Structure 1
Amino acid sequence: VANMEFTLAGPPYSGYPCFSAPYEYADEVRRSGVDVFLTANNHILDKGATGFRRTLRHYGDLATEDIFYTGSAPDPESDPRLNPLLLSVRGVRIALVNFTYGTNVPMGDGEALVHRTDTTWLSAAIKTAREAKVDFIFALPHWGTEYSLRSDRAQERLASWLASKGCDAVIGTHPHVPQNIDTLFAELPGGRQKAVPVVYSLGNLVSNMSAPNTRVGLAATLRIAVDAEGNKTLLPLQTTFTWCTRPGTLTTSYCVIPLEAYLGRRDEWIAPYDYDNMLENYRRVKQITQIEE
């Protein structure tokens, strides 16, 4: 599952602040192993209604029984099928609820839908997931303070609310840097408690940003165990720090690596200064976020 923080609006292609990337970006991400594209983010409307519909049309063209998108919809009729996104994976039923604090460009025409942080809609989406008898509900918010390595109060309040409403994990994006991880405890019937892991921000995976800490990413793995009786349990969260190398530093192209696996391998870098840069950023991120892999 990956947050796609750009449009596929066609040429002329453009970067910050209004993104339009080639269709091939999504094709390559799919070939790399991503099954679900998240489209609720602040850049999804950068090219207006026309660019938004082109973007969803391409994700729709990619969609098969194994490839999906969620977080938005091209029209109200399609929305219930896409949001929440209900999946069955090896006999485990999962609901994904993706939403954003807002968009940089307003939609304007009232037709297409990008789901915002609207607790009325979120309550309804979580209720829909429960009524569909899913085993797990994963909330995927686009939120938080950009470039901050720590969560803010608004994120923490919303995470607590999502846990109280029945979400089993919360995995966030938007700040462009990793943020701290938390475990919340939601009350269950009978006085029992459920642990709800929260990753406030995954940071960037593939990016050309140069600000401090923005080339450090975080991959979060949610593992589900099924026992002989069919009982399903969410196992403890696993995380992996990543680093996005630029052309001419480690390889001749962009390359995303599992960061800890490359520690002590400075001699493999084409440009050893980038290894030093990685190490400096990694140490700072770990110190402030207190994330232990």
Structure 2
Amino acid sequence: MTHPHPWTLGAVGDVFVHRPDPSTAFEHSRELLGAVDVLFGNCEGAYTDRPSPSPGGGWSVLSPAGHADALGPAGFDVMAVANNHALDGGFTGLEDTLGRLHAQGIRTVGAGADLARAREPVVVEHGPTRVGFVAFSCVHPPGYAARARTPGVSAVRVESHYHLPDDDPYAYIEPGAVPKVRTFPRAEDAAVVAEAVTRLAGEADVVVASFHWGTSREPAVLADYERILGRLAVDAGADVVLGHHHHLLRGVEFHAGKPIFYGLGHFVFDQVTEWSEEELAYLRSLGEYGIYPRDGYPLLPFHPDGRLTVLAALEFRGNRLARAGMVPCVISPANHAVPAAPDTADGRRVLAYVRQVSERAGLPTGYAEGTFTIGGFAGFEALPR
């Protein structure tokens, strides 16, 4: 009797290397990342020495082209490039980023020289198992979406609807009442997602759907469209859904037995920024979860909760998911993701945070420590309730 081929998928959230010595970026996490068989991350920025104007403007996340060379040795097999910083170096910056990753053997998904190539899936093989990836971005500046003959990201448009809540008796009689906001993916774009996942499920043994989505300044909050798209992807044939963009961890939901990791935070996300006093005043006015300099963390201008992160780890037997879990990590002042066993103070902080944000979002998922390991690294298992 033959047994299904065992293998592991690992995934982290936003990744961007921009430091004096890029080779140090993964020095504390390299062994952990190497413990999985197929490694995924979100490439959150442009690596280029010849940036052209961004089609959308705004805060740019740019790094010299050579800094991308830290990603191959870190073990990344597939990286999503469907996000709100992919074209920060313009069309040439996107071209350079994709070329630099491809030169290291890293497959990219979610962006390309035109719409067809931006939507192309990627299939990698591990032993006899074919693992397919698709990636979409729901948050990006105007002009970043790929078009028929224009470079960009594989975009999903989301509509915001404002309505007065029925449970507020004053909502309809007091002008200026604060409305509730509901968000929905456009029907035609949701159909593109479903079709892409279904088609890929016919070509690959395991399907992974990646989404750049959500709000970056509200902890624990999941927008309506995140739940809609995550469940739609599973219904269309995805075995795993991976979300990112929030810069803060979100919880896990099991839909039809398949895990949806709503937000993996960031893993190594170097931010070298220079802001004027006027800009700083505005950024601080956005509240404690705004993005502005934090004492002692020169490369990480995010709320302290953003220092808690994970490697999502999934064990498969052939095409069957056996277990899903997370290995906790805490980001150091030098901006290194450092693995932390669940029975340490740092590990308990990460586990407590994931439990808290899951409960606040109403996700019926349990997390069990002491039963989950990947390559000798202890983590905690996510369990449907």
Could you say whether these structures have the same fold, taking a TM-score greater than 0.5 normalized by the shorter chain as the test?
Answer: yes
Preserved CA contact (<8 Å) 2:342 2:348? no
Does 2:303 match 1:214? no
Secondary structure of 2:194's aligned partner: helix
Match of residue 115 from structure 1: 154
* Alpha-carbon offset, residue 280 of structure 1: 6.4
Preserved CA contact (<8 Å) 1:2 1:38? yes
- Of 98, 118, 123, which residue of structure 2 is paired with 1:86? 123
In structure 1, runs of 5+ residues without a counterpart are: 186-194, 227-231, 248-253, 265-274
C-alpha distance in structure 2 between counterparts of 1:77 and 1:158, whole Å: 21
Match of residue 321 from structure 2: 234
- Amino acid in structure 1 at the alignment position of 2:356: Q
Q: Which moved more, 1:51-60 or 1:281-290?
A: 281-290
- Of 212, 215, 236, which residue of structure 2 is paired with 1:142? 212
Task: Determine which structure has greater relative contact order: mean sequence separation of CA pairs < 8 Å that are 6+ residues apart, divided by chain length.
Answer: 2
Superposed, 1:94-105 pairs within 5 Å as 94-105=131-142
CA root-mean-square deviation: 2.6
Match of residue 83 from structure 2: 41
Name the structure with the higher helix share: 1
Residue deviations 1:84-132 (CA, integer Å, cap 9, x gap) = 1112211111110111003225148842131012223223322331332
C-alpha distance in structure 2 between counterparts of 1:156 and 1:242, whole Å: 26
- Of 220, 227, 230, which residue of structure 2 is paired with 1:156? 227
- Amino acid in structure 1 at the alignment position of 2:74: S
- Amino acid in structure 2 at the alignment position of 1:9: T
- Of 84, 88, 92, which residue of structure 2 is paired with 1:50? 92
Preserved CA contact (<8 Å) 1:45 1:105? no
Residue deviations 1:197-242 (CA, integer Å, cap 9, x gap) = 111000011132331311111211122114xxxxx31112111121
Does 2:169 match 1:130? no
Match of residue 224 from structure 1: 316
Residue deviations 1:31-89 (CA, integer Å, cap 9, x gap) = 111111210011111122222222222223223xxx31111112457457xx2111221
In structure 2, runs of 5+ residues without a counterpart are: 1-39, 52-57, 157-188, 270-299, 360-365, 368-379, 381-385
Secondary structure of 1:236's aligned partner: strand
Preserved CA contact (<8 Å) 2:214 2:223? yes
Residue deviations 1:167-202 (CA, integer Å, cap 9, x gap) = 1111110100110111111xxxxxxxxx11111000
Preserved CA contact (<8 Å) 1:76 1:112? yes
C-alpha distance in structure 2 between counterparts of 1:104 and 1:77, whole Å: 20
C-alpha distance in structure 1 between counterparts of 2:67 and 2:358, whole Å: 30
Secondary structure of 2:141's aligned partner: coil
Mark the CA change 1:138 to 1:205 in structure 2 (over 3 Å): closer, same or farther: same
Secondary structure of 1:178's aligned partner: coil
- Paired residues, what number? 252
Larger Rg: 2
* Alpha-carbon offset, residue 5 of structure 1: 0.6
Match of residue 25 from structure 1: 67
Secondary structure of 1:201's aligned partner: coil
Match of residue 340 from structure 2: 259
C-alpha distance in structure 2 between counterparts of 1:221 and 1:233, whole Å: 14
Does 2:282 match 1:201? no
Preserved CA contact (<8 Å) 1:150 1:289? no
Match of residue 189 from structure 1: none
Residue deviations 1:143-180 (CA, integer Å, cap 9, x gap) = 11214224232211111111111111111101001101
C-alpha distance in structure 2 between counterparts of 1:54 and 1:47, whole Å: 9
Preserved CA contact (<8 Å) 2:62 2:89? yes
Does 2:370 match 1:289? no
Q: Percent identity?
A: 22
Preserved CA contact (<8 Å) 1:46 1:104? no
Mark the CA change 1:125 to 1:285 in structure 2 (over 3 Å): closer, same or farther: closer
C-alpha distance in structure 2 between counterparts of 1:256 and 1:92, whole Å: 30
* Alpha-carbon offset, residue 262 of structure 1: 8.3
- Amino acid in structure 2 at the alignment position of 1:260: A
Match of residue 5 from structure 1: 44
Preserved CA contact (<8 Å) 1:178 1:285? yes
Runs of 4+ in 1 over 6 A off after TM superposition: 278-282
